[in-house]
Amino acid sequence: MEVCNKPSQKPMTLLNGIHDFFANDEALANIPVIGPKKEGAILEGSKDFSKQFMERHGIPTAASKSFTNENLAEGLAYLQNHATPIVLKADGLAAGKGVLILDNVAEAQEELKLMLGGKFGNAGSTVVIEEFLTGIELSVFVLSDGKNYVILPEAKDYKRIGQGDTGLNTGGMGSVSPVPFANDTFMAEVKRDIIQPTIDGLLKDNIDYTGFIFFGLIKVGDKPYVIEYNCRMGDPETESVIPRIESDLVELFVACAHKKLGSYQLSISPKNAATVMIVAGGYPGDYEKGKAISGIENLRNSLAFHAGTALEGGIVKTNGGRVIAITSLQDDQFTALQCATGDAGRIYFDGKYFREDIGFDLM
């Protein structure tokens, strides 16, 4: 076994070129990497690039226009006649805080000044002003070898901290898969109007893209629109998606790395998955770490995915806001949620919290 020691203190991600790092190193080039190179990861890393990409290739998305500090006055004038609500998006990644939805023009104009003035650092050097779309959101996942692709199970996640999808946004409080309204007709439209044009567009733009594409979609009426692209799978969506894949994951990844997805047959379980995220008290605000966790061994019908945990002296303790995801795979959505919430209740640490209504809006 060989060990690769990363020489830099800078985190190695797809966006700053971890795939390129492997590909350009003689000793590492033979190791397959599932994930795009830096030129492909910009699909997630730049909202402005992704909007231009979608417009260039005829992919349905909200109408938008981008502005920088150099044409701030034009941006302020553009907002003056913009319908509300107004969506402002920092071009780069801003720790999940770079998307603002504002209900009046004056507030949007003030926020545009702040964003272009450095509120989000370099991530806000360009700001996308976007039309607000009303509908229901879902996530669709594709694994591409650069030309061919397989569509993975879709999912719907729940961001708000409170029951009934209320309160502050979080990294995700739970997810379900499949999504009932994503029927064959809808998914055929997603494939025809969104997935295929995206894969074709990458080829036309000479971007060799190997890896996952996360399509953040919104269903407006009966039509799907793209809200965003990610170059990775989501959390907590992954916890509901992966258990539904019956195919061998290693074989799937090898086929992707060797560009053989064209002949790959993906097997997906018809069962329903529900994921409930157990979080620390106070999250997404201030919270304490180091709380001893018990009961993980008592799960009856679920899988436990550790997130914000650490092993200290043989004891599992909390080490983050989102602590453990509990996923249950069952014959129907209600039973899956019932089992996941039941098993979440068997885990204990001081201050723990989880939502008990994940997926209720789809029943």
User: 246-302: per-residue pLDDT in tens?
Assistant: 999 999 999 999 999 999 999 999 999 999 999 999 999 999 999 999 999 999 999
Q: Quick check: 4 pLDDT over 90?
A: no
Count CA atoms within 13 Å of residue 92 on its CB side.
Answer: 15
Tell me how far apart the alpha carbons of residues 31 and 236 are, in angstroms, rounded to a whole number: 28
Tell me how far apart the alpha carbons of residues 231 and 276 are, in angstroms, rounded to a whole number: 24
Summarised one tens digit per residue, pLDDT across range 180-189 is 999 999 999 9
Instruction: Quickly state the pLDDT bin for 5 (edges 50, 70, 90).
Output: low
**Residue carrying the six token digits 């907590």:** 236
pLDDT value, residue 300: 95
Summarised one tens digit per residue, pLDDT across range 7-29 is 555 667 888 888 989 999 999 99
pLDDT value, residue 12: 76
The residues, any chain, with a CB within 8 Å of residue 29's CB and separated by 6 or more, are 22, 23
Tell me how far apart the alpha carbons of residues 360 and 334 are, in angstroms, rounded to a whole number: 8
| Cα angle 229, 302, 167; round to 5 | 50
pLDDT value, residue 149: 97
Can you tell me the mean pLDDT for 304-333? Answer: 97
Q: Quick check: 77 pLDDT over 60?
A: yes
- Mean pLDDT of the residues in the chain: 94
Pick from 94, 96, 98, 86: which is nearest to 62 by CA? 86
State the pairing for strand pair 126-131/64-68.
antiparallel
User: Hey, CA dihedral for 131, 135, 138, 144, is it positive or negative?
Assistant: negative
Can you tell me the mean pLDDT for 52-79? Answer: 96
Summarised one tens digit per residue, pLDDT across range 28-49 is 999 999 999 999 999 999 999 9
Summarised one tens digit per residue, pLDDT across range 235-246 is 999 999 999 999
**180: amino acid identity, one letter:** P
Pick from 133, 134, 137, 132: which is nearest to 362 by CA? 137
Going from the N-terminus, what domains does the chain have, and what CATH number goes with each? 63-131 (3.30.1490.20), 136-263 (3.30.470.20), 272-362 (3.90.600.10)
**Phi, psi angles (nearest 5°) of residue 214:** -95, 120
Q: Quick check: 6 pLDDT over 60?
A: no
Pick from 232, 230, 235, 211: which is nearest to 306 by CA? 235
Instruction: Quickly state the pLDDT bin for 93 (edges 50, 70, 90).
Output: confident
pLDDT value, residue 7: 54
